[in-house]
A and B are shown apart, each in its own frame.
Chain A
Amino acid sequence: MKRLFTLLQRELSVFYYSTIAYIVLFLFLILNGLSFWFAIALLNRAPSENTVVQVFFNSAFFWIAYLLVFSVITMRSFAEEFKLGTIETLMTAPVHDWEVVASKFLAALLFYLSLWLPSLLYFLIFGWLGNRSAIGSTAQVWAPYLLLLVMGMFNVALGCLASAMTSDQIVAAMISLMLTIGFFFVTLINYVVNSSSPLLREITAYVAQLDHMDSFSRGVVDSRVFVFYPSMTFLLLFITYQVFQYRRWKV
């Protein structure tokens, strides 16, 4: 456990030592701010049934930031170790392979979560300033963040897998962007195939992130996502672990 903590500390420090982390933090702050500002502006223009939270989490700004961020966060995690050769010193220290995979995943997830903190503050401050009704109930504020956590786990694990497959950060970023966007648009199959097959709808509903967010931001919490995303995350991390070991032994 102490080893895992040491590794995690190192992985987290990687983010805060690198310029890219601050660029991401800065862009995220701007996109979140814009998104929030547009939500307020929209609600100021005309009476609406939607809360600020709902408008915020269903805006294009939000989704663009969400989809782009994973590849940037995870691209260097394994790729950089392979490229610098530090994988050799890392894996000859007395640590288990799974500890390395877990620490890299957890660090990326924690960084991702920290990106959403400013937006949570907006809502809390906005509500505290007296616009309780425009925010909605406590559950309506927190539910989207729960969803961001589980969907984030899944996408961060995808990014880790992409990074473990290559020694080039850029290639890792491309692969992970492709995977993230690919899963995001899986529901489009329904429109392309144009079949009303209920089975297909049932399956794609599991990864319909837009739909999840729509219901969660209304405060409707669907328990299926808490089973699906964490179990997919475990599966992806297991594959990452295998790929990682395979590449290390192949050097």
Chain B
Amino acid sequence: MIKVEQLTKKYPGVVAIHDLSFEVEKGEIVGFLGPNGAGKSTTMRILSSFMPPTFGRAYIAGHDVFRDSLKARRHLGYLPESVPLYRDMRVNEYLRYRGSLKGLSGRKLRSRAEAVKELCSLREVENKLIAGLSKGYRQRVGLAEALIHEPDLLILDEPTLGLDPNQIRHARELIKSLGKRHTILLSTHILSEVEVTCSRVIIIHRGKIEASDTPENLVGRIRTSGTVRLEARTGSDDPVERLERIAGVKNVAANQEDGWHRCSIRVEANSDLREDIFRLAVERCWTIRELTQERATLEDVFVELTHTDN
């Protein structure tokens, strides 16, 4: 659905993206991650044919986004980062205007406008001026607009930016359900969102692709050492001293509260020391209230890949 070949964009004095190549297959939901200024929005703007690349090619549904721009744009629903809308229009008017700009008319236009209003829960504000809508509603108007012509591909630039937790959850469900019919490329900073919605993740940093894989594989690949959490009553024992004797433990941090020791045990990578710790506890007659291995998250992957020393 998307094919990007050696895409490069230079601004005066800065290289925003450098030699980017990737593909997105039909039906995928791809999360596009990276720190601010990594080149996510630039890539999305090129894909939506808002601006041309300095070098390289990009195709949407087989159409070059620059040479065959109008055909490429017909397959695309695009939600820019700032969700720009005409403030002087009403929701209904805006959707009808954008629909007819994208080639819908008559009965088809009306039924599509109704459908996207239903999908994005815009019923109650359909006759309101966009200027008077809250951030959450504006975001939904933007999304409804992107969906109105039933595009094969949706490009969403930070679709949950500025939403409250309930709205984020709602948006996530919506995006997930859209994934059944549309190919989606979305950028976001909320990594937990990516873990549940995306079938693949592309992480870019300083204009280059650092990783492209499923969220599970990325998390599995991470090599930072893990952490085991232990909460126990240890009697007269000093838990730190005892735990540090176990092979594979790097260091232990502990604090005490009402006689309970809460320990955070750093262990070496790819090892599970929970059984050893349990045996130690049984041997020393400790009472255990919690023993868990903390998993690496996508956040850890993100930080490791895009960590900068400056």
Q: What mask results when residues 83 to 120 of chain A are scored 1 for a CB within 8 Å of chain B, else 0?
A: 01111110111111000000000000000000000000
- Which A residues are CB-close (under 8 A) to B87? 84
A195 proximal to B (CB < 8 A): no
Classify the interface of chain A: helix, strand, loop or mixed.
Answer: helix
Q: A93-B98, A94-B73 are in contact. Are A248 and B51 (CB under 8 A)?
A: yes
Which A residues form the contact surface with B (CB < 8 A)?
Answer: 2-3, 6-7, 9-10, 13-14, 17-18, 84-89, 91-96, 248-249, 251
The 5 closest A-B pairs by CB, nearest first: A85-B84, A92-B48, A86-B84, A94-B73, A17-B88
Number of interface residues of B (CB under 8 A): 27
Question: Can you name the residue of chain A whose Cβ is closest to the Cβ of B12?
Answer: A250
Of B49, B80, B98, which one neighbours A85 at CB under 8 angstroms?
Answer: B80
Whether B88 pairs with A84 at a CB distance below 8 angstroms is no
Question: Can you name the residue of chain B whose Cβ is closest to the Cβ of A17?
Answer: B88
Q: How far is the CA of A205 from the CA of B211 in the complex (A)?
A: 67
Query: Which stretch (B29-37, B101-109, B268-276) binds chain A?
Result: B101-109
Q: How far is the CA of A85 from the CA of B49 in the complex (A)?
A: 15
Whether B88 pairs with A93 at a CB distance below 8 angstroms is no
How many residue pairs at the A-B interface have CB separations less than 8 Å?
A: 66
- Which B residues are CB-close (under 8 A) to A7? 101
- Which B residues are CB-close (under 8 A) to A248? 50-51
B291 proximal to A (CB < 8 A): no
Minimum CB–CB distance from B108 to chain A (whole Å) comes to: 13
- Which A residues are CB-close (under 8 A) to B20? none
Q: How far is the CA of A93 from the CA of B86 in the complex (A)?
A: 15
B59 proximal to A (CB < 8 A): no
Minimum CB–CB distance from A112 to chain B (whole Å) comes to: 20
Whether B88 pairs with A14 at a CB distance below 8 angstroms is yes
- Which A residues are CB-close (under 8 A) to B88? 14, 17-18
Given contact pairs A3-B103, A17-B89, a sample of 6 additional A-B residue pairs in the complex whose CB atoms are under 8 Å apart: A87-B84, A92-B49, A92-B73, A93-B101, A93-B102, A96-B70
**16 residue pairs A–B, Cβ–Cβ below 8 Å:** A3-B101, A6-B97, A17-B89, A84-B84, A85-B84, A86-B84, A86-B85, A86-B86, A88-B50, A89-B84, A89-B85, A92-B48, A92-B76, A93-B101, A94-B101, A251-B45
